[in-house]
Amino acid sequence: MKVDTWFGVLETGGVGEITGSRLISKGIRELALYSLSLRDSRLNLPPEGFDLKAAAIECGFVESPAEYYSLLHEVTLEAAKLQVSGALTPDQRIIQAVEALDDINETTNSLSERLFEWYGGYFPESGLSGETLALFIVKYGSRDNIDSEDPLYSKARDSMGAKLEAADEALLKGFAESVCSLYERRRQIEAYIQSSMELIAPNLNIIAGPMLGARLISIAGSLEKLAVFPSSTIQVIGASKALFKHLRARAPSPKHGVIYSHPLINTAPWWVRGKIARAVSAKLSLAARIDFYSGKKDISLAEKLETKVLQIKALNPRPPQKKQEIGAKLKKKRRK
């Protein structure tokens, strides 16, 4: 009978005596990797009451119980470390990136607004904002330094803004540089999310686009969790407030959560948005499942979705009549 143990494979006879053994070398790391590889197999478990320590001494793997326990301690510690370091799966890294992107967006906006207000005192006519303004300030600083070829030259000459002192100019330039650095960072993180999504969730990437796909994974918590969500859950992810209001009171159910940013949904006329959201989320759920369980790219998914959306639009060319709505409401009330 074969017995798998953390230090090797043993052959035992009928009454438990060891008849042969294939031991692992005594390296901590090898032992840890080997014991992790055993985790999932249910074959060759030691029989009940089998004394691993005695067997290890008997087959010559260790010399004393003390050595056995100290080695076991180190191996399990190493195995735990290996497990922890393996916990950062690619989808977890995407989630980190999405969260960092949200932080960056928020801070960039608030610092941009501050820069706009601050520089507004010196050149209110510029009409610039956001990154363009930050780049303008980094380039010129005071409006006096503007090139005569710049389209803003004449505006800058006649500006009613205050004179920018050297100390303030240095301060504003530094501030604008930080803002530019944040905009740069935003682009970098977006590019990272795009290339990672292409790798770990190619189908979700096609159906949802990289940013929406990454956000869905981020809200679900992992690609695995997203894959087991029913499509009706995916449809309202991010609309939990409206959903619970619907469940608690007689509020209408939300038609879409974060998937509203999907171009098929937000460009559709309002009376088919709910139907299209349902079609999109069904395909999103399928895509997440394919990505998690097989990982193969399936281009037909996007085509099917497009056909479905065209069909929905063809069946509902006009908004529903007001009369019908009133009729429906009366019916509901009578039912109550």
Binding residues for a second copy, rule: CB under 8 A, are 80-81, 84-88, 92-93, 96-97, 99-100, 103-104, 106-107, 110-111, 114, 117-118, 121-122, 160-163, 165, 167-168, 170-171, 174-175, 177-178, 181-182, 184-185, 188-189, 192, 195-196
Beta carbon nearer to a second copy, 176 or 301 = 176
**CB-facing half-sphere around the CA of 314: CA atoms within 13 A:** 6
E-state strands within the chain? 2-5, 8-12, 18-23
Phi, psi of 239 (to 5 degrees): -120, 35
Residues whose CB is less than 8 angstroms from the CB of residue 122 and which lie 6 or more positions away in sequence, other chains included: 142, 143, 159, 161, 162, 163, 164, 168, 172
Beta carbon nearer to a second copy, 1 or 80 = 80
Q: What's the min distance (Å) between Cβ of 301 and a second copy?
A: 27
Beta carbon nearer to a second copy, 45 or 171 = 171
Q: What's the min distance (Å) between Cβ of 165 and a second copy?
A: 8
Beta carbon nearer to a second copy, 122 or 140 = 122
Q: What's the min distance (Å) between Cβ of 158 and a second copy?
A: 8
Q: What's the min distance (Å) between Cβ of 295 and a second copy?
A: 18
Beta carbon nearer to a second copy, 33 or 57 = 33
Orientation of helix 210-220 relative to helix 90-120, angle to 10°: 110
Phi, psi of 273 (to 5 degrees): -60, -40
Beta carbon nearer to a second copy, 84 or 247 = 84
Beta carbon nearer to a second copy, 124 or 327 = 124
Residue 130 tokens, joined: 């956001």
Cα angle: 61, vertex 66, 71; to 5 degrees: 55
Cα distances (Å, whole numbers) of residue 150 to 14, 48, 156, 157, 165: 93, 85, 10, 11, 22
Q: What's the min distance (Å) between Cβ of 138 and a second copy?
A: 12
Q: What's the min distance (Å) between Cβ of 34 and a second copy?
A: 19
Q: What's the min distance (Å) between Cβ of 105 and a second copy?
A: 11
Type of residue numbered 126: S
Do 276 and 254 contact (CB within 8 A), yes or no? no
> Using alpha carbons only, how large is the chain's radius of gyration in Å?
32
| Alpha carbon 327 to its chain's center | 44
**CB-facing half-sphere around the CA of 124: CA atoms within 13 A:** 4
Do 181 and 104 contact (CB within 8 A), yes or no? no
Beta carbon nearer to a second copy, 71 or 115 = 115
Beta carbon nearer to a second copy, 161 or 274 = 161
60 backbone φψ class: left, alpha, beta (φ>0; ψ -120 to 50): left
Q: What's the min distance (Å) between Cβ of 176 and a second copy?
A: 10
Q: What's the min distance (Å) between Cβ of 112 and a second copy?
A: 10
